[in-house]
Amino acid sequence: MKHADRAAGLWLSMCTLALGTGAWFSMGFSMGLGRPESDPVSSRPGSAKVDFNRDVRPILSNNCFFCHGPDPKTREAGLRLDTPEGIIAPLKSGGAAVVAGDTAASMLLARITTHDEKDVMPPVKSGKKVTPAQVETLKRWIEQGAVYDKHWSFKEAHKPAEPVVSDPSWVHNPIDAFVMRRLDEAALHPQPEADRRTLIRRLSLDLTGLPPAPEEISAFEKDESPEAYERLVDRLLASPRYGERMATDWLDAARFGDTNGYHIDNERYMWKWREWVIDSFNQNMPFDQFTVEQLAGDMLPADTDPKVTARRKLASGFNRNHMINFEGGAIPEEYMHNYLVDRVNTTATVWLGLTMNCAQCHDHKYDPISHEDYYRFYAFFNNVPEKGLDGNTGNSEPFLKFPTDAEEAKLAELLARATAMDEKLSGPMPESDALQVAWESEAHAFDQGGWTVVAPISVVSTAGSTLVVQSDKTVLAAGKAPDRESYEILVPIPGDAAASVSAFKIEALQDDSLPQKGPGRSPNGNVVLTEVSAQAVPLADPSLASPVNIVNAFADYSQAMFDIRLAVDGKGETGWATGSHIARDDREAVFVLEKPVENAGGTFLKIRLGFDSQYAQHSLGKFRVSLLTDRSRHAAMSTAAISAWSSLGPFAVGSNPAEALAAPAPFAIEPEKAIDLGALYSAKPDAPADIGWKVRDDLPDGQVAMLTSLDYQSMYFHRTIRTDVARRVRLSLGSDDALRIWLDGVKIHESGLQGRSTAPDQVFVDLDLTPGEHVLLMQVVNFTGGFSFYFKPVADDGMPAPLNIAKILRTPAEARTSEQKVAVRDYFRASRSPQWRELKGQRDQILAERTRLDGMVPTAMVMGELPEPRKTHIHLRGEYDHLGAEVTAGVPHALPPLPEGEPANRLTLARWLVSGKNPLTARVYVNRLWQTIFGRGLVKTSEDFGLQGSWPSHPELLDWLAVDFVEHGWDIKRALRQIVTSSTYRQSARTSPESHSADPENTLLAHHPRVRLNAESIRDSALYVSGLMVERLGGPSFRPYQPPGLWEEMSLDPTGASFSAQVYVQDHGESLYRRTLYLFRKRTVPFPVLAIFDAPNRETCAVRRDRTNTPLQALVVLNETAFVEAARHFAQRVLTSPGSDEARLARAFELATAQRITPEQSGILMELLSEQRRAFAGSSEAEKLLAVGESPRDATLDVGEHAAWTMVCSAILNLDQTLVKD
């Protein structure tokens, strides 16, 4: 006896033994195992004709092919038994393995029957043995001519004629004829049709996953028309619940999950793809289209309707459902290989029913799939623009946004509104434009007045340039050009003793003598001025020279990353670059002194220009110095002086964005309350306070400041602003993600956006400053992904025009270029036009809202094709880093070829699978439909149609169904309708002793199989029966009640600071009562209720589930929160309906089982009810039971009574009849 059968036998025997001796969990699994098995009819002695495929090949495959099969590397003695030529070929040792009609000459028989341990086949050490019955079969086959046949599933399917049967009146459709023929052969009879209550419950559960409602039962019972049953079938097939029911099985096959699996196992978002599956089943999308869109929807030509195109791309997410790794230190190539392997294995299992995975490392041992075939198939999927390690934050490349129609319309509307405002913002604005004209002349006057060009008294080069003061007061450098340089320039303060200087200007000028005309001395003409400083030098005693602070600097132009402020930052290596190699022009820079320097009867200004950068020879070639002698202009020029940033943090915040903003978790760090730059903070409540403010001079204004990117982190930034006059400073800001700003302790801005990438001008904030010093505090919160901000003061009411604008204003208005006009207008409007600012503010708000909505649009991973296909090689021994010969995409040689003239790509593969020429796809899928309805397929090993798979219980029926399916356009609902309207399906589940004896596994279907509901249906039924269920088609996954700590005790990041789906946050309200199909599937820690009821963990493709029967299952239905809550509501539902105890019991029983309660059953439950009433009467315990679950209780119900009924209803939910479908 094979051990698979023994296992089944054992548990059966143990069931009848006294308790206490049985093996515990190893008892009672009723799913079959994947081994070819004997046929209940043909294995009976005396059967005449041997069928090679059914009877002989399984014996050869299981016992011989490992050494005498397709894999040449393990082929012994050159003998090959898996081909018709091989099995009759002359042996090296003489004779042949098989000689047709001659058992005595067939060496095969001699070797398997010999008693010589050295010679016997299969070898002793293989542990395999050919049974006497199998020897007999082989003998008869040889006697009958040893006809060799191609493996059945690789042969084209033909529609067989409907067989003649013993009782044609039983035949409702052709399915029944095929079934009855097999029953006739076994001298068995089908059961009569089940009663209507059984039928409606069976049908409702099979087609929708939920039991029928009492009203539906009575309507069906009363419907006497001959079409009553068919109408019921049509109603159920048309229900949206049908799509949910069908999707459940498909999600197993597609290894759908809500997390990335592997090591970190954080969250991903594929629920839009799940919606696609449900919708497609509900719309009865033909299976060929269903296939092509999922395997290659991204490659289909674009449809005229972009929505259709988008949906097809969404469908292609099927092959992105595999796990994706982001373990630190893992090697990307290794995981890329794993993803490819998963796609190959999944696609082969789901559509071809082939165990192609066996050929990953070597030629298949049993099936005609070579190692090379495997990698040819692999090549189809090897062109996705993906990364080997990805998924640290949500979805992995490539993925797309999939807005709903409503979302799309809203986004478009907001964009249109913003665009319309953009036009206004750049169009004429009479009020503002009039102000601009006045301002321009004022600004021009300011720019022109108050400056005096001075001739230096001396200019000294410290590195050896020759500096000559020209007649036009400019200074020209000549001679050798040192790599590094500094100039010391002494200029007089013009005027009398009362005169003063409050700023100086350096003009960098072009000259023909300089490389590229300069103004720099470097070969490209560029200048990097690294540091500017000044001293006041009294003529009377130069030794009393005192430093002069520079508080501000402006330039007409700064090269990116070389802002003018870097020339006054006190650091030698950073500086201002003129960018002369990019745009050739004269440049000017103004340096504003903290206080005017008085002439005081003879004071000189000594200016030092340093050129100390890493860029050699970037010193000034020609320049001129001017001094601002009109001190009335000083206040305006000494704009708000802003200190360098200090930063604090990062600190972890909660992974829920709302919470993250509400208060930094796990505890509050609130420098905004009171800023103390000396204070220390701790990272966690129990950690030492060792985090303090740090001065940050690495975060220059006007550049995106990149922070160390950690998910769910918050950082604070501080700086002071000092001004001598009242002014309004306008900041341009950007952030990734949320941003808050306080000025002097008052919050003046907050934008809590997720998924924003930093860019300039995302937000404008005005700082209204009074004279004095102000404190600016900024908080940036990163949710996931990049962590950065942008900060730049862009306008200042008190300020004169910036130099670049002032320069334009020196050209008369009519002579300006249109670019210059726009620059002046934009500057004016942004800095000085209230009308424009208000409109701009509105427009920014609209765009911010659009960004917020856009960030909420769900994404889903999709397939894509690289423009240049990746090369694919054979991977020796299946390993990622052992490459063999290069291969091109193709299908296994044993199957029909791809159509000629079509490119060998994924789309062609998808079309080939459903071309109808492929012998496997239709058979494999109708078999799974059969499995969905009957609990097991006609081929029991629904994942393996290869040589080691099960022989079909009804081969002709399988072929008939497959061909019929293709002939009728791959119509899934039609195929199901055919199955469930058959007499075979409609039989009673009662067993006759004869059929039990002849066919204990009910392979021949002499009665309807009793099948325990799947995990989803068990939970759904309890919720539905209780009235708690909230039906909402589609949507994101929900998180149910779950015992605390299950995720955290296993997760990498139990605080959830760095990764998602590490900390379990249960949902509340309606979500708790949604269908189980939508329950959050964390791959490394599956929801225990599902795991206990045999739902696969979705790490890899699964097309068949176990159906075990264990004590843990009992504990779930008895004690799990959702089931207890369901029992409580079930009781409430019953108690709030009128009637006697008996009537209420009958109703409860009917709700759960669809059956009328019998007096015996009612008696048992009545007794239970009175026991429970006694138990709960006057006891405070009842309230505790009724508090289970978060849904409210009807407080008008008596507590003891409600509790007693809760126990009774729980009993009903635990009945075999409730958990099983008859």
Partner 1 sequence: MNPLRERELLLTRRQLFGRAATGIGAAALASLLNPALAMASGAGGTGGPLMPHFAPKAKRVIYLFMSGAPSQIDLFDYKPKMGEMHGQDLPDSVRMGQRITGMTSGQSRLQLLGSPFKFAQHGKSGVWLSELLPHTARIVDDITLIKSVHTEAINHDPAITYITTGSQQPGRPSLGAWLSYGLGSENSDLPAFIVFISIGSGNPNDQPLFDRLWASGFLPSSHQGVKFRGSGDRVLYLSDPPGVSRSSRRSMLDAVAKLNRITLDKFADQEVNTRIQQYEMAYRMQTSVPELTNFQDEPESTFDLYGPESRKPGSFANNCIMARRLAERGVRFIQLFHRGWDQHGNLRNAIKAQCNDTDQPSAALVMDLKQRGLLDDTLVIWGGEFGRTVYCQGNPDDPNSGRDHHGRNFCVWLAGGGIKPGMVYGSTDEFCYNIAEKPVHIHDLNATVLHCLGLNHERLTFPYQGRDFRLTDVAGKVVHDILV
Residues in region 255-284 near partner 1 by CB under 8 A: 261-265
Among 330, 415, 455, 1143, which residue interacts with partner 1 (rule: CB under 8 A)?
330
Q: Is 880 in the site for partner 1 (CB under 8 A)?
A: no
Among 982, 1026, 1113, 1132, binds partner 1 (CB under 8 A): 1113
- Tell me the per-residue interface mask from 963 to 992 with partner 1, x by CB under 8 A, - otherwise: --------------------------xxx-
Out of 15, 238, 689, 1030, point to the residue binding partner 1 (CB under 8 A): 15
Contact yes or no for 452/629 (Cβ under 8 A): yes
Task: Work out which of 96, 99, 110, 331 binds partner 1, going by CB under 8 A.
Answer: 331
Residues of this chain, 29-88, that bind partner 1 according to CB under 8 A: 29-31, 33-35
Cα–Cα dist 1201/183, whole Å: 52
Tell me, what DSSP letter sits at residue 1079? Answer: B
Kindly determine how many residues on this chain lie close enough to bind partner 1 according to the rule CB under 8 A.
Answer: 135
Does 14 bind partner 1 (CB under 8 A)? Our answer is yes
> Which residue stretch of 99-107, 708-716, 846-854, 1079-1087 sits at the interface with partner 1 (rule: CB under 8 A)?
1079-1087
Q: Does 131 bind partner 1 (CB under 8 A)?
A: no
Q: Angle at the Cα of 1050 (from 1044 to 1051), degrees rounded to 5?
A: 100
Q: How far is the CB of 946 from partner 1 (least distance, A)?
A: 5
Q: Exactly one of 1124, 1146, 1151, 1152 binds partner 1 (CB under 8 A); which one?
A: 1124
1005 closest CA partner among 989, 993, 1026, 1027? 989
Per CB under 8 A, does 1197 bind partner 1? no
For partner 1, the closer CB: 90 or 1044: 1044
From the CB of 1053, what's the least distance to partner 1, in Å? 6
Verify binding: residue 329, partner 1, rule CB under 8 A: yes
Which CB sits closer to partner 1, 718 or 940?
940
**Residues with Cβ < 8 Å from 229, sequence gap 6 or more?**
199, 981, 986
- Verify cis geometry, omega within 30 degrees of 0, for the bond prior to 132: no
Q: Which is nearer to partner 1, 213 or 1215 (CB)?
A: 1215
CB-wise, 781 or 1095, nearer to partner 1?
1095
Q: What is the DSSP string of 518-535?
A: -SBSSTT---EE-EEEEE
Cα separation, 943 vs 871, whole angstroms: 30
Q: Is 132 in the site for partner 1 (CB under 8 A)?
A: no
4 binds partner 1 (CB under 8 A): yes
Nearest to partner 1 of 226, 993 (CB atom): 993
Stretch that binds partner 1, among 87-95, 634-642, 1070-1078, 1179-1187 (CB under 8 A): 1179-1187
Both tokens of 753, joined, read: 């956006």
Nearer to partner 1, 655 or 941 (CB): 941
**Chain residues 1152-1171 in contact with partner 1, contact rule CB under 8 A:** 1158, 1160-1161, 1164-1165, 1167-1168, 1171
Closer Cβ to partner 1, 795 or 1185, answer by number: 1185
94 binds partner 1 (CB under 8 A): no
Q: Which runs of consecutive H residues, i.e. helices, occur in 361-516?
A: 371-380, 405-426, 430-448
Instruction: Give, to the nearest 10 degrees, the angle between helix 196-208 and helix 240-253.
Output: 60
Rounded to whole angstroms, the Cα distance separating 1175 from 742 reads 63
* Gap between the Cα atoms of 17 and 570, Å rounded: 91
Examine residue 1214 and tell whether it contacts partner 1 (CB under 8 A): yes
First to last CA, the chain: 30
Residue 56 Cβ, how far from partner 1 at the closest point, in Å?
17
Instruction: Please give the residues from 990 up to 1019 whose contact with partner 1 meets the rule CB under 8 A.
Output: 990-991, 993, 996-997, 1000, 1010, 1012
Which among 969, 953, 959 is positioned nearest to 156, based on CA atoms? 959
Longest Cα separation, the chain: 134
Rounded Cα distance between 1211 and 1204, Å, is: 11
**691 touches partner 1 by CB under 8 A:** no
Residue 47 or 992 with smaller CB distance to partner 1 = 992
61/619 with CB nearer partner 1: 61
Q: How far is the CB of 1167 from partner 1 (least distance, A)?
A: 7
Site string for partner 1, 352-391 (x = CB under 8 A): ---x-xx------xxx------------------------
CB count within 10 Å of CB 1057 equals 22
Within 857-998, where are the H helices? 906-913, 921-934, 955-967, 972-980, 983-986, 993-998
Regarding 634 and contact with partner 1 (CB under 8 A), the answer is no
SS3 504: strand
Among 1099, 1141, 1190, 1201, binds partner 1 (CB under 8 A): 1099
Task: Residue 401: name the closest of 314, 324, 302 by CA.
Answer: 314
> b or e along 706-730 (b: 16 or more beta carbons within 10 Å of the residue's beta carbon)?
ebebebbbbbbbbbebebbeebebb
Q: x/- site string to partner 1, residues 1017 to 1056, per CB under 8 A?
A: --------------------------xxx---xxxxxxx-
Helix axes 1141-1153, 1199-1213, angle to 10 degrees: 40
- Give the binding range for partner 1 (CB under 8 A) out of 23-31, 217-225, 268-276, 448-456: 23-31
Min separation Cβ 1205 and partner 1, Å: 12
Rama region for 1163: left / alpha / beta (φ>0; ψ in -120 to 50; rest)? alpha
451 contacts partner 1 (rule: CB under 8 A): no
Contact with partner 1 (CB under 8 A): which of 419, 466, 888, 1119?
1119
CB contact set of 317 (below 8 Å; sequence gap of 6+): 270, 272, 273, 276, 294, 860, 861, 862, 863
Among 234, 1181, 1194, 1198, binds partner 1 (CB under 8 A): 1181
Four-residue CA torsion sign, 403, 405, 408, 410: negative
Name beta bridge partners: 860: 400
Q: How far apart are alpha carbons 1042 and 1120 in whole angstroms?
A: 9
Binding to partner 1 by residue 876, rule CB under 8 A? no
Compare residues 432 and 1113 and give the one whose CB is closer to partner 1: 1113
Rounded Cα–Cα distance for residues 1001 and 632 (Å): 104
Residue 1219 sits in the site that holds partner 1 (CB under 8 A): yes
Using the rule CB under 8 A, is 314 a contact of partner 1?
A: no
Residue 693: CB minimum distance to partner 1, A: 23
Q: Among residues 598, 590, 638, 593, which one has the least CA distance to residue 494?
A: 598
Q: How far is the CB of 1135 from partner 1 (least distance, A)?
A: 17
- Shortest distance, position 152 Cβ to partner 1, whole Å: 15
CB half-sphere exposure, 378, CA atoms < 13 A: 29
Q: What is the DSSP string of 272-309?
A: HHHHHHHHHHHTT--HHHHHHHHHHGGGSPPPSSHHHH
Q: Which region among 526-534, 563-571, 584-592, 947-955 touches partner 1 (by CB under 8 A)? A: 947-955
Closer CB to partner 1, 120 or 904, in the complex: 120
Q: Is 1111 in the site for partner 1 (CB under 8 A)?
A: yes
Site for partner 1 in 781-840 (CB under 8 A): none
748: phi then psi, degrees, rounded to nearest 5: -115, -5
Shortest distance (Å) from residue 1004 CB to partner 1: 16
Binder among 725, 1091, 1143, 1177 for partner 1 (CB under 8 A): 1091
d(CA 650, CA 219): 65
